[in-house]
Amino acid sequence: MSAEGRPFPPEGFTPSLPKVSHLREGMPGTLRPEDSAEYPPEGVKPSGGRWRLWRLLRSLRFAVILMGLIALACVVGTIIQQDTPQAVQRGERHGPLATFLGLHRLYGTWWFLGLLALFALSTTACALSRLRFQLRSLGSAMVHLSLLFIVAGVVLRGLVGLDSYVAIPEGETVDSIQVGDDTVPLGFQLRLDDFEVRRHGDGAEETRWLFLKYPGVHAEGAHGGPLMQYVGTNGSDALMMKFSEDTPTLTAPFQVGKPLHVRLYGTRIEVLRYLPDFKMPMTKGGEPYSASEEPSNPAIQVRVTSPGPLDAYVSRVTISGEPGREPRAASILVNQPLRAGSFMFYQVDYDHETERGTVLEAVYDPGVPLVFIGFILMPAGIAFVFYVQPLLKRRRGRPEAATRENEYRTPNTECPISKSDEARSFSRTS
Amino acid sequence: MYDRLWAASFAIFSVALVLGAAHAIILSAYRSTGLPGAPAWLRWLRRVANAVIVLGFLALSATIVARWHEAGYPPFSNMPESLLWMAWACCAVYFVSRLFVDFTGLEAAACVGVLGILAVSSLFPHAARPLMPALKSNWLIFHVLTCMIAYGAFLAAFLLAILWLLAWQWRETGKMVDALAYQTMAFGFLLLTIGIVSGAIWARQAWGRYWGWDPKETWSLVTWLVYGIYLHFRLMSGSLGISRDRLPLFNALFGIVGFAVTMFTYIGVNYLTTGLHSYATR
């Protein structure tokens, strides 16, 4: 009996033996020709690298250890900030060990993918060595087979999948996408006819003073809208603003005495007044005034109008040149992608400055059907294992599989407590 | 209306907790002093406690309906809304469990679970906000609901693990608690799988890819792996030298660790990491 409590080898299992003819006599792991094909031969313990490998792969303990290692690696990847495209652009460097291990792009490293590949192998081996061609193995087979479908789909995506961002200003047409250094033709033309941003409500207006000597956070958008951070002046009469750490600094020149309308991320900024030497009046309710003409405390009064929160943004496009199809119009929204040719187009972003340009993502992923088959098989298989299999066991007249005695030896999914056991329950008062 | 119903749910479950705990404590006192039977009023106390829990469940359901009506969109898009569903699911798991098992302290455990969730939910802003573009999809209901039911089941399993640690010396109860915990975690695992899968299908529709190693996605996979290890554990525990008698202890530990990981996936990721799901923090 193996340590896992099951007879080994399991009935019906015949591993393929190495062909004897091409191996030298007496080599470890071979049988002498006079031995029969019986397995395992008496007195001979299977040995050899291939055999040990198989034993490792079919071992549940190995599978569980792999699952634990994958979980651990996943956790590390969420603690250590993974490279964003911006970080890659900035050429950020990390310590030598982190770079070697690829900790900042963990999910694509050789060792992580190797763990996943090993897990797929282990799943296959464990399933093959334990499951029979019986109805009651169906659930388990479905679950573990689904894992392989998913892995196959992911591999296919990695090998031949394409995806790329496509920015299209209103009125423009694209017929190809850039994937790395290659230009991939779409096979049709895509024209952005109209782009619309819809918002909830009218937004909010706020009037405040910015002290040009003291940069900092100054204007908050209402309803969770963008936060405008006044960064400073660039020496001349120009305001520098940021909306978040990742956005570039926008420079907005202003002229004293002239209102300025700037559309930044939908936010409008008007410069109303300029005071070279800002002073608050002593009396309550009085207006600020300028104590002198010297710019010792320069300040400007701005009115910031923030838009309401985003409701939706729509790209209205025309697709033409598809082989065998008439030109057609379509709308692309988040959650409503467009299928054209062999690509899918997703609404991911838009030109925040002009709000007249869209950013779509073009994706080609032939592995999706495989992954989705896995997605259907997996819950179905799990439901089968936990809710159908016990009924089958009971119907086949194996009530012993459902008693408490066996509940720790086999994966007993039958709840061992039946109504009649209530008499023996701890609480006897109900 | 929503605020009043929420407060009413909290109050009702508090009353149920007092009644259920009182019943459990008094009955345990009776058992430990070896008195033969328990008085009729104790049985009635238990029935009243259960009736109050049913009332509380109805109040929770009404709270959800009120929120749906007042906000104008399905209540699945922020913390308090999803926590309501988690409390509702935990209570539902309790009702289903009562069809199969019966032991003292179950009412109190269920009330602790629901009250704990409601208490945590009061830490988050309850204001209803309009849905952002990414959430405008029918998948919102299905994906969030299946995940919250899974979390409710995992909470129930966590409470059962605590209950096991308290009650393992009473062998009969201990075995029942362990078996029920297994059923609960298996159910939670099934729902979690459906939740992850529906999330992946939705992600493909909204963001163009079914998996992006976003922290939320990654941690949900970690949760899935932890419970997957638990489900296989009893098959391989022998090879680790764990005897049949010691196995329930490890099951209880899995219930606790698994729930901790679940809570990090649900709440920790929103506040301690950045990614596509962090819009839930606003």
Residues of A in Cβ contact (< 8 Å) with B172: 424-426
pLDDT of residue B182: 94
Q: Please name the residues in contact with A97: beta carbons below 8 A apart, sequence gap of 6 or more.
A: none
**Is B238's CB within 8 Å of A337's CB?**
no
B282 close contact with A: CB closer than 8 A: yes
Chain A residues touching residue B236 (CB < 8 angstroms): 4, 60-61, 64
Are B204 and B244 in a shared domain? yes
Which is more confidently placed, B127 or A41? B127
In this structure, the strands spanning A267-275 and A262-264 are antiparallel
Are the beta carbons of A10 and A129 closer than 8 angstroms?
A: yes
Q: What are phi and psi of A272, to 5 degrees?
A: -95, -45
Residues A146-162, mean pLDDT to the nearest whole number: 91
The region of weakest confidence among A207-216, A261-270, B232-241 is: A261-270
Query: B62 and B191: one domain?
Result: no
Using CA atoms, how far apart are residues A416 and A405, in angstroms rounded to an integer? 9
| Domain assignment present for B137 | no
Query: What part of B 102-121 touches A (C-beta under 8 Å)?
Result: 102-104
What is residue B242's predicted lDDT score, i.e. its pLDDT? 83
Asked whether the beta carbons of residue B197 and residue A223 sit closer than 8 angstroms, the reply is no
pLDDT in tens, A88-99: 666 677 777 777
Write down the ipTM of this complex. 0.91
Q: Which residue has the higher pLDDT, B166 or A374?
A: A374
- Let me know if residue B69 belongs to a domain: yes
Together in a domain, B64 and B96: yes
The answer to whether A68 contacts chain B (CB < 8 Å) is: yes
- pLDDT class for A251, splitting at 50, 70, 90? low
- Looking at residue A397, its pLDDT comes to 64
- Determine contact, residues A404/A416, Cβ cutoff 8 Å: yes
Nearest chain A CA: its distance from B24 CA (Å): 9
B101/A31: higher pLDDT? B101
Copy the structure tokens of residue B109.
């455990």
Which chain B residues have a beta carbon less than 8 Å from that of A77? Answer: 213, 218
Q: What total of structural domains would you count in chain B?
A: 2
Contacts of B181 (CB under 8 A, 6+ apart): B157, B160, B161, B164, B251, B252, B255
Residue B136 belongs to some domain of the structure: no
Query: Which of A249-263, A292-306, A309-323, B151-165 has the highest mean predicted lDDT (pLDDT)?
Result: B151-165
Average pLDDT of chain B to the nearest whole number: 90
Question: Among B152, B150, B43, B145, which residue's Cα sits nearest to residue B94?
Answer: B152
- Which of B106, B131, B156 represents a domain boundary (last residue)? B131
Using one digit for the tens of pLDDT, what is the confidence trace for A282-304?
888 778 888 887 777 878 787 77
Q: CB–CB of A386 and B187 under 8 A?
A: yes
Domain match, B72 and B147 both: no
Which of the pair, B57 or B79, is modelled with greater confidence? B57
- Is there a contact between B47 and A430 if contact means CB atoms under 8 Å apart? yes
Per the model's pLDDT, the better-predicted residue between A279 and A373 turns out to be A373
Contact status, residue A301 vs residue A260, Cβ threshold 8 Å: no
- Picking from B90, B105, B131, the residue at the C-terminal end of a domain is B131
The pLDDT value recorded for residue A14 is 43
Domain membership of residue B244 (yes or no) is: yes
| Whether the bond into A40 is cis, omega within 30 of 0 | yes
**Interface with chain B: mutation pick from A78, A115, A177, A227, highest number of B CBs within 10 Å:** A78
Q: What's the whole-number average pLDDT of chain A? A: 74
pLDDT exceeds 80 at position A218: no
pLDDT of A41 > 50? The answer is: no
Q: Which pLDDT score is estimated for A428? A: 36
B41 burial level (CB within 10 Å; 0-12, 13-18, 19+): exposed
Of A92-96, A152-156, A214-218, B208-212, give the lowest mean pLDDT range. A214-218
Residue A86 pLDDT grade (very low, low, confident, very high; cuts 50, 70, 90): low
pLDDT score for A45: 58
Place of tokens 């499951």: A131
| Residue B126 predicted with pLDDT over 60 | yes
Q: B101, B131, B161 — which closes off a domain?
A: B131
Q: What are A232-247's pLDDT values in tens digits? A: 555 555 666 665 555 5
Same domain, B45 and B85: yes
Token pair of B189 as six digits: 């695992």
A372 touches chain B (CB under 8 A): yes
Task: Residue B38: list chain A partners with CB under 8 A.
Answer: 428-429
Does B213 sit within 8 Å of A386, measured CB to CB?
A: no
Q: Cis (ω within 30 of 0) for the bond into A185?
A: no
Buried b (16+ CB within 10 A) or exposed e, A66-84: bbebbbebbbebbeeebbe
pLDDT at A20 exceeding the cut of 50? no
Nearby residues of A38 by Cβ (< 8 Å), 6 or more positions away: none
B282 and B148 co-located in one domain: yes
User: pLDDT by residue (tens digit) across A370-420?
Assistant: 999 999 999 999 999 999 988 887 777 655 444 433 333 333 333 333 333
Residue A142 tokens read as 């479905």
Name every residue whose Cβ is closer than 8 Å to that of residue A216 and which is 6 or more positions away in sequence. A229, A230
The first and second tokens of residue B84, run together, are 């309501």
Calculate Rg over the CA atoms of chain B. Answer: 20
Whether residue B104 sits in one domain with residue B150: no
The residue-averaged pLDDT of A127-136 equals 85
B107 and B151: one domain?
Answer: no
How many residues make up chain A in this entry? Answer: 430
- How many A×B Cβ pairs under 8 Å? 170
The minimum CA-CA distance between B145 and chain A, rounded to whole Å, is: 16
pLDDT at residue A215 in the model: 64
Lowest-pLDDT choice from A12-16, A197-201, B70-74: A12-16
State the residue range of the domain holding B248.
142-282
Q: Is the pTM here over 0.80, yes or no?
A: no
Instruction: Check whether residue B107 and residue B147 sit in a common domain.
Output: no
pLDDT at A2 over 80: no
Q: Can you tell me which residue has the tokens 């596509």?
A: B276
Q: Name the residue among B79, B146, B156, B154 with its Cα closest to residue B113.
A: B156
**Residue B8 and residue B105 in one domain:** yes
Q: Kindly write down the DSSP assignment for every residue of A45-81, as one continuous string.
A: ---SHHHHHHHHHT-HHHHHHHHHHHHHHHHHHHHSP
Q: Note which residues in 173-212 of chain A have CB less than 8 A from chain B.
A: 200
CA distance B111 to B130: 32
H helix intervals, chain B = 2-32, 40-71, 79-100, 106-121, 139-167, 171-207, 215-236, 247-263, 269-272
Is A349 part of the contact surface with chain B (CB cutoff 8 Å)? no
A12-16, B99-103, B120-124 — which is least confidently predicted?
Answer: A12-16
Alpha-carbon distance of B234 to B247, in angstroms, equals: 7
**How far apart are alpha carbons A344 and A361 in whole angstroms?**
8
Q: What digits encode the pLDDT tens for the residues B27-71?
A: 888 877 877 777 888 889 999 999 999 999 999 999 999 999 998
- Position A261 scores a pLDDT of 54
pLDDT band at A254 (very low <50, low <70, confident <90, very high): low
Cα dihedral A274→A278→A280→A281 (10° resolution): -80
Residue pair A334/A114 in contact by the 8 Å Cβ criterion: no
> Do both B146 and B125 map to the same domain?
no
B208 vs A: CB within 8 A: yes
Q: Do B50 and B121 have their domain in common?
A: yes
| pLDDT over 70 at A202, yes or no | yes
**Mean pLDDT comparison of A102-111, A202-211, B53-62, highest-scoring range:** B53-62
Query: Between B6 and A52, where is the model more confident?
Result: B6
